[in-house]
Chain A
Amino acid sequence: MAKLPKPEELLQLNYNPPPSEDWMDRPVELKQGNFCWGAKGKNLAVVEFPNARDWTPVEADWKLPKDWEGTVLEAMADRLSKYRSFKVFMDICVRCGACADKCHFFIGGGDPKNMPVLRAELMRSVYRKYFTNSGKYLGRLAGARELNLNVLKEWWYYFYQCTECRRCSVFCPYGIDTAEITMMAREFTNLLGLNTDWISGPVANCYMKGNHLGLEPHAIMNSIEGMIDDIETITGIRINPSFNRKGAEILFVTPSGDLFADPGTFTAMGYMMLFHELGLDYTWSTYASEGGNFGFFTSNEMAKRLNAKIYAEAKRLGVKYIIGGECGHMWRVLNQYMDTWNGPADFMEVPKSPITGTVFDNAASTKMIHVTEFTADLIKNGKLKLDPSRNDDLVITYHDSCNTARGMGLLDEPRYIIHNVCNKFHEMPDNTIRERTFCCGSGTGLNASENMDIRMRGGYPRANAVKHVRDKHGVNMLANICAIDRATLSASMDYWVPGVRVTGVHELVANALLMTGEKERETNLRGEPLPGKGGNE
């Protein structure tokens, strides 16, 4: 419950009448910088989504289909009957306020409708009106309201301001997962053709080409070959990865962001150097060429359709199991949904490291392990020769990506790796890491440019903690295991904490890795002189 006022606070009488306008009556105002451009018709059409047409959020006419209210309410009834969790989350909230101040968008921006409780109330009020007796008969008195155009616009505006990071759910005494409420809102808006360009473009690309960027096989191979050239320049070792190879033991899947955007590319180089050193029998796929899944920010059905290619490709190639790269939401999908959507993956084996013999029982069902689980096990068993001093120019802190931390409990493996490949590491304050980690502010398809204002204020709580360790310990590198983090935290650091750069964990691994037959390295993977080399000491 909200805290009771103290006696001295009670004495401070406020004679101003309360504002006459309730939050329900206040029409939503779409402010530039807070939302992404509307989806293009062609991208909705290609995945056969309803009401495919170009639309612009700031225009009054959203070109909605006839009886859109009926479509939404029908879908709501369907999901309420299908998902017990959704029904419980609609009914059970007692408005205790525990979540209210836990959302990075509320903390950084101050809009009360970004309090998770109030954001959820935007939908609960409609639920009450149409699906509860109290709401039907008592209306406003029971906190119910009708679904109308203003409500729909409010939903779209605020549910596309939630990154589904689930920090609020950690504090909810009832375990209400606000992310699932956002997911439902996005399902409903997608039935009306209301998605964003930044999400629907990658979804369409992924559906047609297998990855968000729409890269065709030759472009993927070409990019990886470029990285191989760089690795040869740095280490003197020529790596020869295989593509779409049948009979490989392992299929490796990573977000396509690792293939083309710095600093993700350095992480991808890191994976390849490690796998080469181990002599791992693995293959890339130019078909299952995307671990990420923007369908997950669209609808359950779309996420499932885009995810299907991973098991299909594993089956086609006949691999024993799958290793996945450093990504955030990709892992929430793989860890929590893939098995029920597209499993059982009974054509594969329980992952077993060919180097250490460790069996990853935690992935007995999905047959897919995270690359940091794999690498941490290698280090624990003393299978890697490492020289952490090669990372001595870096003072590192670690950002727990929301989905890997809260979605799958992957908290210690990345830290264990970092401790073994780097000498200088400092944690951020306790209430900003591990399960309580702050979102980068740009997840769930919010990493566009046109909404930079909200991205920056949503990223402030995280950046503020980084600033603290930069000022206190001289931290200059922010490590993480998420492709969206690698892109968006770079922008966030640039604005809030200049001087701190962003890296994937496997870039650090590869810098420290002593490879068989390598020449004396002069630079790190970024082409910068190693500590003690190039006169930078």
Chain B
Amino acid sequence: MSLKNILSDKKSELLASWFDRILDTYPAETAKFLRNQKDRFANPVGQTIREGIEDIFRELLQDGDIEKVSCYLDNVIRVRAVQEFTASQAVAFVFFLKSVIRDGIKDIPLTDELFHELMTLEAQIDSLALIAFDIFMQCREKLYDIKANEMKNMTYRLLQRANMITEIRDEEKDNNLIAIQKKEVKT
């Protein structure tokens, strides 16, 4: 039986263990809530993590494509990127999967073949961790963009009205839009 088949059979047990490991990164009271409240709108963080790791696990076993896995990782990391974690703490959950799998198969005799498969799988998990770090950075950079855009948006019209901005017209824009912009800088 291949490693992936073994993992597939033990899927629910492994996912539960992975989920628990992730919840351990939260305070005990919070973890209780994240675990027990199953309504995805009352508990978006818990459910996003639960569904996210299930999707990632499935894709990993299917040698799924990078884009899909990135999307699933994004769902989880986008949450952890704004919670009170350092960068390493935010993405560490990917590495948790390694020990979860090793613990999960510890009773199964490790043949050469299984060992080789395990090494391959762990290398894949390492790749996921690298993608996870990229996503974490994208999320943080997005936050900085949002901060900058908010400042711009708050002051842009004021500066326009104070005649401190003269916009270069975009000839390809819709005529009405150009007309609006002309009038905005006129006064």
Interface residues of A (CB under 8 A from B): 31, 34, 100-101, 106-112, 115, 213, 219, 222-223, 225-226, 229-230, 233-234, 260-262, 265, 429, 431-432, 449, 452-453, 456-457, 460-461, 464-465, 468, 487, 490-491, 494-496, 522-523, 527-529, 534
Contact = CB atoms under 8 A, between A and B. Distances in A.
B176 A457 contact: no
A222 B187 contact: yes
B79 A460 contact: yes
B172 to A, nearest CB: 12
Chain A interface SS verdict (over half) = helix
B83 A110 contact: yes
Interface in B1-60: 26-27, 29-30, 33-34, 37, 39-45, 48
B37 to A, nearest CB: 6
A233 B158 contact: no
B63 interface: no
B150 to A, nearest CB: 6
Contact of A101 (B26, B27, B33, B40): B33
A522 B180 CA distance: 13
The B interface is mostly helix, strand or loop, or mixed, namely helix
Contact of A109 (B78, B83, B183): B83
Contact of B29 (A112, A234, A456, A494): A112
A106 B184 CA distance: 43
B176 A527 contact: yes
B110 interface: no
Given A260-B158, A453-B143, A527-B180, A110 B26 contact: yes
A453 B82 contact: yes
Given A31-B84, A112-B29, A453-B82, A523 B147 contact: no
B64 to A, nearest CB: 20
Given A115-B29, A230-B180, A494-B146, 13 more contacts: A112-B30, A225-B187, A226-B184, A260-B158, A431-B39, A465-B41, A494-B145, A495-B78, A495-B82, A495-B143, A522-B176, A523-B177, A527-B180
A265 B184 CA distance: 13
Contacts of B45: 107-108, 110, 460
A527 B183 CA distance: 13
A223 B161 contact: yes
B151 interface: yes
A429 B179 contact: no
A101 B157 contact: no
A286 to B, nearest CB: 15
A170 to B, nearest CB: 13
Contacts of A494: 142, 145-146, 149
A34 B184 CA distance: 37
Contact of B180 (A233, A260, A261): A233
B153 A261 contact: yes
B20 to A, nearest CB: 12
A219 B161 contact: yes
Contacts of B146: 452, 491, 494-495
A240 to B, nearest CB: 16
